[in-house]
Amino acid sequence: MTTAVPENTRATRPSILTVDDDPSVSRAIARDLRRQYGENYRIVRAENGDQALEALREIKLRGEEVAALLADYRMPGKSGIEFLEEAMDLFPVAKRVLLTAYADTDAAIQAINVVDLDHYLLKPWDPPEEKLYPVLDDLLASWEASDRQPVRQVKVIGHRWSARSYEVRDFLARNAVPFRWYELDQNESEAQRLLSACECGEADIPVVVTPDGKALTRPSDAELAARVGLSTTPSTDFYDLIVIGAGPAGLGAAVYGGSEGLRTVLVERLAAGGQAGTSSRIENYLGFPDGVSGEQLTERARRQALKFDVEMLTTRKVVSLEAKGAARVVRFDDGTELSAHTVILATGVAYRTLEAPGLGELTGRGVYYGASTTEGPSCAGQDVYLVGGANSAGQAAMYFAKHAKRVVLVVRGDSLDRSMSRYLIDQLSGPGNIEVLTCTEVIGGSGTDHLETLTLRHNKTGETTTVPASWLFAFIGAAPRTDWLDGTLARDDRGFVLAGPDLLTDGSVPAGWGLDRPPYHLETSLPGVFVAGDVRSDSVKRVASAVGEGAMAVTLVHRYLERS
């Protein structure tokens, strides 16, 4: 490994690290970097991924910064992508460049998905004045302008089997708020010390300590959001577009609304991403051949919306919707109102609860609805039971199989073929610790302070079995969150919102429509209010279709505004 600056000046300069297994190429790029950037940056050269990671750890220990990482794609042992993925944990804001000797499109796509690549550079880069320096100049300028202060984490103190402790951790994780979990048990003395420092007791849990040292005892979601920097208050009282719900459909609508010049506000009850946001791996979404987690997809969409000046409000529950002249007004549960020319409903659906004796009181204490990636490590070496036969359950099974001793997928039907994508069915046989129980239902559960046993029944033979279990995740059905629209919008018999052609009866517009045109394709029974995603009647329950409907709804919003 070589460096370009004297030992006594290293601490004053951030580093640029390059790694390439070809010694001649490694020396050449280090030489070019040193010539252009050696005065302001320390140039570090490595010839394999492990050597480069060792250098990064040393830099981290010295408290220095890394501005950019340049890695060769095709290195033996540890590829450039694998190196960059591990390097992100040490220096998450360092700019990342992948080097390759030829146009390897697959490598570029994979790198973009896995390590959020900043640039893809072909070798050779001669002359560097045209092909290397302009790229790095832009990346380094961006890095210099970024906020590189260490992330100050929120601290959460609570019990593993406290339902509210789980809800707080899930809320922070889904809103991409960094936090550290301190579990109160006989082995976690630090949790007790933190409680004492906060002058709190176990009766106060969960206790959340914010980065500024403020201790919150049993905080509500709204209080928590306000204290950790999430936006809860709109900047004005009138917008061009209000999007209700920040799942894939809502995020898609917000991005397109903001990018097309509409003053847009996105209102979310809990956290961005919806059901898709909790998925550990989505592998059939266009443009992500190696898959993408729901969390990654959500975070990128959220950043994209903010880029287009979309306001995002968290922990705001909408309880009513009405028309006041040309305005469409939504009312929140605290009595405040927000108005706009148009509204897009993208509230998604909720998983249905298991109506089995003993499970209701154990929700959040071993019984969960949807996947919770925060609970994965806690399941290490244990059995995990999942209920459901659709893609969400299959994705969760693959995730928990990495942590649990055994994953049992409980499916009411006689096969997965009708409800789960073929690629997921094929993957379930891979890990070796996933078991699928078909024709089986959960009919009961028990436990004192947390789930301890489940009762299963084979729905053809009637045979019942009681098994020890501490973890149950359910993915059954889809209940639309539309009760608050009763009497306002037309819905089908299951509560899903009707729109467009579904509103027409014998070709006639719905009663009370009041316009000389039929509703647009995604327009509801209230003109100027549109619906997108899973909450729409007869929608396709897929991430791609939800995003597409969100974008389509914005096009129809423009059409509505032009004719209003």
Is the per-residue pLDDT at 110 higher than 80?
no
Residues 6+ apart with CB under 8 A from 58: none
At residue 113, the pLDDT reads: 58
**CATH topology classification for 238-350+482-563:** FAD/NAD(P)-binding domain (3.50.50)
CA dihedral sign of residues 120, 104, 47, 131: negative
Q: How buried is residue 164: exposed, middle or buried, by Cβ count under 10 Å (0-12/13-18/19+)?
A: middle
What does the block give as tokens for 167?
């809800």
| E-state strands within 174-295 | 179-183, 207-209, 215-217, 238-244, 264-267
Q: What was the pLDDT predicted at 384? A: 96
pLDDT band (50, 70, 90) for residue 3: very low
Measured CA to CA, the distance from residue 179 to residue 156 in angstroms comes to 7
Would you say 392 and 284 are in contact if contact means Cβ atoms under 8 Å apart?
Answer: no
- Whether 427 shows a pLDDT value over 70: the answer reads yes
Judge whether residue 11 has pLDDT over 60: no
Query: Around Cβ 193, how many Cβ atoms within 10 Å?
Result: 12
* Structure token digits, residue 406: 């055994």
**Domain 7-145 class in CATH:** alpha beta
User: What is the per-residue pLDDT across 514-555, written as a single tens digit (0 to 9) for each?
Assistant: 898 999 999 999 999 999 999 999 998 889 999 999 999 999
Sheet holding 154-158, edge to edge: 179-183, 154-158, 207-209, 215-217
What is the token pair recorded at 400?
């928990």
SS3 of residue 369 by DSSP: strand
Cα–Cα dist 280/292, whole Å: 8
Examine domains 7-145 and 238-350+482-563 and report if their fold is the same.
no
Please tell me the pTM assigned to this model: 0.75
Tell me the C-alpha distance between 532 and 552, whole Å: 8
**Beta strand spans in 429-471 (E):** 434-437, 440-446, 453-458, 464-468
Average pLDDT (218-241) is 94
Sequence-ordered list of residues with C-beta below 8 angstroms from that of 9, at least 6 positions apart, any chain: none
pLDDT tens profile 300-311: 899 899 999 999
Looking at residue 115, its pLDDT comes to 60
- In this predicted structure, what is the pLDDT of residue 109? 56
Share of the chain above pLDDT 90, in %: 59
- Residue spans of the domains in the chain: they are 7-145, 154-227, 238-350+482-563, 360-474
Give the whole-angstrom CA distance, residue 59 versus residue 285.
38
Q: Which two tokens stand for residue 223?
A: 């209080």
Cα separations in angstroms, 559 against 58, 321, 342, 509: 58, 21, 11, 18
In whole numbers, what is the pLDDT of the chain averaged over residues? 88
For the chain, what is the radius of gyration of the CA atoms? Answer: 26
154-227: CATH superfamily: Glutaredoxin (3.40.30.10)
Distance CA 138, CA 154 (A): 33
CATH entry 3.50.50.60 includes domain 360-474: yes
> Prior bond to 527 cis, omega within 30?
no
| Side-chain-side CA neighbours of residue 205 (13 Å) | 25
Using pLDDT thresholds of 50, 70 and 90, give the confidence band for residue 8. Answer: very low
Q: Once rounded to an integer, what is the mean pLDDT over residues 433-452?
A: 95
Distance CA 127, CA 511 (A): 70
- Tens digits of per-residue pLDDT, 166-178? 999 999 988 888 8
Residue 186, pLDDT score: 54
Q: State residue 107's pLDDT score.
A: 57
Q: Give the pLDDT confidence score for residue 94 in this predicted structure.
A: 92
What pLDDT, on a 0 to 100 scale, did the predictor assign at position 7? 35
| Category of 21 on φ-ψ map: left (φ > 0), alpha (ψ -120 to 50) or beta | alpha
CB contact at 8 A, 440 and 458: yes
